[in-house]
A and B are shown apart, each in its own frame.
Chain A
Amino acid sequence: MSQQQPLLTMKGITKRYGGVLALSNADLEIMPGRIHAVLGENGAGKSTLIKVMAGVVKPDEGHMALAGHDVSFATPAAANAAGIVCVFQELSLIPDLSVADNIVISQPPTRAGVINRAEQRRIAEQALADAGASDIHPSALVRDLPLSRRQIVEIAKALARKPKVLILDEATSALTATDVQKVFAVIKRLRNEGKAIVYISHRMHEIAELADDCTVFRNGRKISTFTAGSKTDSEVVELMIGREYKNVFPPKGNVALTGAPAIACRHLSWAGRLNDISLSVHPGEVVGLGGLDGQGQRELLLALFGVLRGVSGKVERDGLPTSIRDPSRARLPQSGMALIPEDRKTEGLMLPMSIGDNLCFSALDRVSSRGVLDRGAVARKIQEMIDLLQIKVASPDLPVSSLSGGNQQKVVIAKWLMNEPRVVLLNDPTRGIDVGTKQEIYALLRRLADSGVAILFYSTDYDELIGCCDRVMVMYGGAIVRELAGEAITEHALVASALNINEGAVHG
């Protein structure tokens, strides 16, 4: 440890939301020239901690000091002005403005009260270059950029503010592997320039690569701060979940695959983004979709669920040809399909509505007769699902937005389980979710499979594909390039086929 003074000190920070204690008497010291990883399950208080740092929420108790002087921020703008800049998990870009507009957004260069476009352009180009993304055009509209590029713009925007303390909250969750490496290089350069960096991620290998110091939070309390590398991964995970970290993945099933596949497609193609895809999933099977992000995995799931138009090829359900043209048909008992979408906040949940309402949306016909809801049945079903998935709720009448990310995801899954689907499609269901909840989701998937449900599961996490799936289809450029089964599903094989190179090349 260096003998330097900490750049940012937080002491005794406490924050309550209603009756819930989000952060309790938390201390944190951030050193200049070091990367400080903050770890914890979702709902552990990390997000609140960062929001306090960045001036988004005011703490109920405690104080903060920046370079030895007491500070308190009323607004994000005040924190920015003091040199604390946060790249939030939820993107803070304005979709209808250009990249350059967004980068200079809080302090655009002006001349006589009017924004100086030439200067703005220069700043934006510099910031994009600093973020290793000179290929993004400053005049492009943000809404025309893919998610991964937007996240880079978000980072460039933070860099343009010349931060002393840079907070990255799950800033790499939507990035492709090449972009992650670029961002890592940027972060390391900032560290060498003496900036303090607070880094939050659920990906352990990212933390292993970047962090100098680690602090673990659990249930709103700081549990421990230690130098990176002084504890093993499994020790760290134990600190995070507060119980012994056993095998995360449940044992795989041994279901005999007989009869017709629950769902199968033949020569499926769509708009040049899906090319001649044939696959089948039997009841009781968990089949993974692997590959680099954006190789058509999402589109495949959407196509099976009837969201895409102009799909060619055949789809069979229990061996019978079907054509599902709309999600409202896919969910009917004769189709019995469910899709857990990628973005729970926009496609999975109606955020302002209650937890109970959200749980019922896909299964309203099961709890109503002749168009009238049976309130008793609704309440029973809701409780059943909350128990089944162990969703931590104070009351099902609270808005679903009040739940932590992991519990929100459980609501999305539960809402479809209420429909008793026979085919479950999942689109990266554990992104941005804590270890404990992940473990519960894995166990749930296996239980579903054991009860005869067919599961098709896209994940960006190789460990998940290895740990959960009976077979994995690796996609590249909208086509399935490799099928791996059983013991052949290794990280090595997944990476190699994801890059669409033959395996020998990786050894070399």
Chain B
Amino acid sequence: MVEWRYWFAENRNTLLAVLMFVVMFAIYAGNHPAGFTANVVQTAANKATLLAFVAMAQALVIITSGIDLSVGMVLTLANCVASWIVVGTGLETTLGILGVLATGALCGAVNGLIVIFGRLQPIVTTIATGAMFYGIALFLRPFPGGSVNETLADFMTGKAFGFFPMSFVALGAVVLAIWVPYSRSVIGRAAYAAGSSESAAYMSGMPVKLAKFTAYVLSGLLAAIGGLYLTFFSYTGEAAYASGNTYTLFSIAAVVLGGVSLMGGRGSAIGAIFGALAFRTIGDLLFVFDFDPLWQPLFQGVVLLFAVSISAFGLFRVRNKLDWFP
């Protein structure tokens, strides 16, 4: 076999996610009354970026074969914190942003420490810590309110060079600053190894604990970036319980659409981003075809189920039933 085939085999799931998004977006843009214009792209981008950050956060943890059910609440908490401190002069705003990011990283660190050293199941741990994060958020913003540095907010949600959505620039910058070095580092490789076979990773002398801890911290950090973006869109902070939970669930859907294995060890944050974009497009398709908005959840569910089952079609070709079981 030639080199590119191996590369393809390794990245197949991510490439499928990209392909799925491209197809969906083509349908969307092709049927949108305004066509494929900068405005269509920008609106779609702003809506999708938020979920993309949370999906990245989720992907990092799922790759280690964990799960983080607190990502939505970290986002909510970050939103509430940001509505207090990302204001004022340039310096104050900068310090405020650092404060929001530190909050997210701290939330992730708490999750990681409990999961690694407390040896608790990630699913239960993060349900509990998620409730705690929400509690703090509610304490900070019992009622929706606060504000944000609007100049910055408008810049971050606007257009770069007059046509390219700034939110995608931010998303790309985060990928370059966090995902690319992480996935190529020893820690990142250990994270994949831990998700694929933790005992083998341990026996090979890999830094398994450090890798998992890093994954949870980065997850918190990325969710906080998502929260920051939410603040840029909404100009306010709100401890919204339902929306926090929705982000958590959607992040898992996006990750699966993005070809990240829930068993761990396979997939990439890039895939998760495209999974998020595709998932958002599913929701938008409805408006393009002029359905009653009441249909949205049902329609979204059906399309999601269909999209997820595409990856299961391979099972029909399996001729040895033992291959059904991972």
Contact = CB atoms under 8 A, between A and B. Distances in A.
Contacts of B197: 93-95
Contacts of B206: 105-106
A23 to B, nearest CB: 19
Contact of B181 (A56, A92, A114, A308): A114
A488 to B, nearest CB: 33
Chain B: interface size category: 20 to 34
Interface of B: 1, 3, 6-7, 9-10, 181, 184-186, 189, 192-193, 195-197, 199-206, 265-266, 318-322
A271 interface: yes
B203 A307 contact: no
Sorted nearest first, the 6 A-B pairs with minimum C-beta distance are A77-B205, A139-B6, A96-B265, A96-B196, A106-B205, A92-B203
A110 interface: yes
Contact of A307 (B10, B205, B321): B321
Contacts of B193: 94, 97, 105
A329 B199 CA distance: 35
Contacts of B319: 270-271, 308-310
A77 B204 CA distance: 7
A308 B3 contact: no
- Prevailing SS type, chain A contact patch: loop
A308 B205 CA distance: 38
A270 B318 CA distance: 12
B286 to A, nearest CB: 36
Interface of A: 56, 75-77, 80, 88, 91-98, 101-102, 105-106, 108, 110, 113-115, 137, 139-141, 144, 157, 270-271, 299, 302, 307-310, 326, 347
Nearest to B201: A94
Nearest to B1: A137
Given A95-B196, A113-B181, A309 B203 contact: no
6 contacts: A92-B199, A92-B200, A96-B192, A115-B186, A115-B189, A309-B319
A217 B203 CA distance: 25
A115 B193 CA distance: 15
Contacts of A299: 320
Contacts of A97: 189, 192-193, 196
Contact of B3 (A108, A113, A139): A139
B10 A105 contact: no
Given A139-B6, A157-B204, 18 more contacts: A93-B200, A94-B197, A94-B201, A94-B204, A101-B189, A105-B189, A105-B193, A106-B206, A113-B185, A137-B1, A139-B7, A141-B9, A144-B9, A299-B320, A302-B320, A308-B319, A308-B321, A309-B320
Contacts of B196: 94-97
Nearest to A80: B205
Given A309-B318, A347-B322, A98 B200 contact: no
Contacts of B322: 302, 307, 347
Q: Of residues A92, A110, A302, which shows the largest number of chain B Cβ atoms within 10 Å of its Cβ?
A: A92
B200 A140 contact: no
Contacts of B266: 96
A302 B319 CA distance: 11
Contacts of A308: 319-321
A94 B200 contact: yes
Contact of B321 (A91, A98, A309): A309
Contacts of B320: 299, 302, 307-309
B192 A76 contact: no
A52 to B, nearest CB: 14
Contacts of B3: 139
Contact of B204 (A76, A113, A271): A76
A95 B185 contact: no
B204 A105 contact: yes
Contacts of A270: 319
Nearest to A79: B205
A115 B185 contact: yes
A314 to B, nearest CB: 19
Nearest to A270: B319
B238 to A, nearest CB: 39
A310 B202 CA distance: 40
